Structure 1
Amino acid sequence: MQEDVFPAAEKILSDIENVLKKDPNLVSFEIIPAEDNKNKSPVFHDENSLGLASWSVQPLFSYAYNRLLDLRQNKHRREDSGTVSKWLLGVLLLNPDISTFWNMKRELVKSGRLDPMQELGFASIVLYYKSKCFEAFAYRRWLVKFILMESTHSVNVDSILRNEFKVAAMAADRYANNCHAWSHREYALGLFETLAPEDLNPLLQTEWEESSNWCNRHVSDYSGFAYRQFLLKKLLLYRRNREEGAPSPERVAKSRELVFKFAKAGTRGCNDVFLLFDGSSDQVLDLMHDSENEKRVSDYEQCLINLSYWAEECMLNEDLIISFPGHEALWCHRRFLAYSLLALQTSYKKYSYYKSENFDPCQGIRPRIEINRSRTVDSASVSKGLLELAFRNHNHDVIALAKKSGNHQHSLAEKFIKYLKFIDLEL
């Protein structure tokens, strides 16, 4: 059979197109191992799932690919947009890594010949089959932006963006270390922050809980922890708008309890520990960061809530390292938490709240080194806040257990110790 000659190609492509139109709730696509059967269609559709018999894949792809390539190279040739759409459907469903054909789809969407909402559905089917396809994610981002910014469709921003979180979660579940899926999730959250800032905080809470559950089930997948780091920065830097009311006493009490649960490891010999129970939010924060700055106009209750996320993540990370020894992703995540501690201390001492500039890797480590070098006393006598003391004691316990858990875990602990020395954070 010649590569561009396949008599049944148009019929098969039409069958696939009809399934996509008939079933808007289609969720999956798979290649089904099957021998050639001339009396039966290679297209299968059952329970919101689409399948294609394996014998038809190569000739169908070659047919559609050669037709599209010929069309692309012959600029004077005119072809019906419906036919071009079918060819694109066949090619991209089977091999979605060809950016030229996604660009042809963009042209059809912009000219009004393809429905962008239906294209979102098609892209999700592609990502079910090829879950780490960068081109498919890039097309989805373009579609979302087109629908929200340029399309004449009446759309619900919340519904559109929350669907992107679902698609990203599906792709991350189907392909390990899927950085493209988590990057897409970050993009969706960024759009949500821009277009619906009033609903950002509830979304951050939801994402924080869902990503925690996901990472607990995938302790070797650093991509998920990288997304947790992205969320943690958002939560640490979150500042309430004027329209938002004060946090409830229950919420503040829960945050204080989380911070105390983490910090009690550093309270040995501390004379002001009673402030953790009876002190105001600003007194607790000053004790945590060893800060004696003059009070500035700052939302200390919100700052305490923000800090509780860091404390919660440290305790979760410690539990995972102990429960699942030998996973480098967990130790790399702990490095981020160590670096974040320096950023938190530097920022709070300077502004009485957390500011994004101190999370810049080029600035976050340097201030701590300069502070220590400017002192006339040795590092052993430098006063430290409860936050740093507690983190040091937690690290001591984790590392001691790691050294008893085998050579690999011991090696990971040694690398972590070297990192702590590099950022000038005592063990």
Structure 2
Amino acid sequence: MSATNESLCQRILHDLNVIFKRDPQILEFDIIPIEDSVSNKSPVIHVDHRLGLESWCVRHLYQYIYHKFVDLRTANNRIGHDQINEWTRTLLLLNPDLTTVWSARKELIENGFIKVLTELRFSEVLLTRKPKSADNFAHRQWLLKYFMKSETLSDELITNELRVTLDTSSRYHRNYHSWSHRIWIIENLFNNSLDKLNCELMITKCWLESHVSDYSCYQYRQYLFQYIHKHFISITDNNSGVVSNEVKSNYHKLLKQELKLLNDLLVLYTDQESLFIHRRFILVSIDQWFANESTQLKESEKIFIKQQLSLSHSNNTSNQWHFILINRHIKYINCKLNWNLDIT
């Protein structure tokens, strides 16, 4: 790298470090598509807790810091924590999928140089640019587990973590890593709280209504229904007590509410296959866990299908696809539930 470029990278690195020191409440980061540099003007932009970097300098900066970092790791040279923090922070801003760099930051945390809450905030900034970073979510899980070794997680911190997953899911639709992280939160931080699980169903229902095509959310809700059944219905069944009947009743109500939600959404969004697939899961769940309702469920599904067919009677492409979805749905439930529906 030329002396000019090296001097430029050092100046950019210095500007970034100054901003992080002066503004610990940075909310977002992104690369701004500006291909040509302007003389005597820093490519680092900082406005209202938002941080940006002009794209023309990214390649030079990344190569400069990456080579410095690799040389440090391979030669096992001793260098100050400040320098490692600055290099790794900038590398992750440019590329958050560097596992070795995340490992270096874990070492800084274990050595007490970076606080866990500070690192969680930095990780969230990175997610605003790369909301589907598996390494970032894995790092957040490590941070939370490390924090729990010495302190108790507050409800506020757990709530914030749930908020982060919805934010990343909104930024990148069908974000598998984001919803998987939310499942990890339930399994590790919820302590089998039925109230919190019911709250999750309510929160994600509101989110789903504005993200109807995001099938990852449907899969997450299916996980919630299965989790509740496994950890509460099956267990209380062994006791055959009043609590079991109450939990069963509430669980049955949740499934019926989900079916009603799908009824309403399928009137507005007739061409969304995700809605039909999720509906099949709910139908199978009700039929499997509340077998005494099979006949009533079958009749109500006949009414639903007839309503859907009436909506599909058109020659436009969208409704032709709708008709295909209806027929797929009929074939599936006939095969899975042995209902032998004959809709004419």
**Range of TM-score over shorter length:** 0.7 to 0.9
Q: Aligned to 2:52, what secondary structure does the other structure show? A: strand
Q: Which moved more, 1:201-210 or 1:1-10?
A: 1-10
The amino acid of 1:181's aligned partner reads S
Question: Which residues of 2 match residues 376-395 of structure 1 at below 5 A?
Answer: 385=294, 387-395=296-304
Where relative contact order (Cα < 8 A, 6+ residues apart) is larger, the structure is: 1
| Counterpart for residue 220 of structure 1 | 213
Contact 2:232–2:247, Cα closer than 8 Å, also in 1: yes
| Counterpart for residue 175 of structure 1 | 172
Please state how far the C-alpha of 1:3 moved relative to its aligned partner.
Answer: 11
Specify which structure has the higher proportion of helix: 2
| Counterpart for residue 416 of structure 1 | 329
Q: 1:321 aligns with which of 244, 266, 275?
A: 266
**TM-score, structure 1 as length reference:** 0.71
The amino acid of 2:199's aligned partner reads T
Q: Does 1:231 align with 2:224?
A: yes
**TM-score, structure 2 as length reference:** 0.87
| Counterpart for residue 113 of structure 2 | 113
Contact 2:252–2:286, Cα closer than 8 Å, also in 1: no
Q: Which runs of 5+ in 2 are unaligned?
A: 234-238
Task: Supply the distance in 2 between the matched residues of 1:214 and 1:296 (Cα, whole angstroms).
Answer: 36
Q: Does 1:307 align with 2:216?
A: no
Question: Which residues of 2 match residues 250-399 of structure 1 at below 5 A?
Answer: 296-299=240-243, 300-345=245-290, 385=294, 387-399=296-308
The amino acid of 2:80's aligned partner reads D
Please state how far the C-alpha of 1:399 moved relative to its aligned partner.
Answer: 4.4
| Counterpart for residue 211 of structure 1 | 204
Structure possessing the higher radius of gyration over alpha carbons: 1
| Counterpart for residue 349 of structure 1 | none
Please state how far the C-alpha of 1:54 moved relative to its aligned partner.
Answer: 1.8
Deviations 1:105-144 (A, max 9, x none): 2222222222221111111011000111111111111111
Identity of aligned residues (%): 29
Please state how far the C-alpha of 1:394 moved relative to its aligned partner.
Answer: 4.5
Contact 1:3–1:59, Cα closer than 8 Å, also in 2: no
Contact 1:30–1:52, Cα closer than 8 Å, also in 2: yes
Contact 2:88–2:101, Cα closer than 8 Å, also in 1: yes
Contact 2:190–2:196, Cα closer than 8 Å, also in 1: no
Task: Supply the distance in 2 between the matched residues of 1:78 and 1:49 (Cα, whole angstroms).
Answer: 33
Task: Supply the distance in 1 between the matched residues of 2:264 and 2:338 (Cα, whole angstroms).
Answer: 21
Inter-CA distance 221–147: structure 2 relative to 1 (3 Å threshold): same
Contact 1:235–1:309, Cα closer than 8 Å, also in 2: no
Task: Supply the distance in 2 between the matched residues of 1:202 and 1:15 (Cα, whole angstroms).
Answer: 47
| Counterpart for residue 236 of structure 2 | none
Task: Supply the distance in 2 between the matched residues of 1:227 and 1:99 (Cα, whole angstroms).
Answer: 27
Please state how far the C-alpha of 1:212 moved relative to its aligned partner.
Answer: 1.1
| Counterpart for residue 37 of structure 1 | 38
Inter-CA distance 389–99: structure 2 relative to 1 (3 Å threshold): same
Task: Supply the distance in 1 between the matched residues of 2:276 and 2:294 (Cα, whole angstroms).
Answer: 24
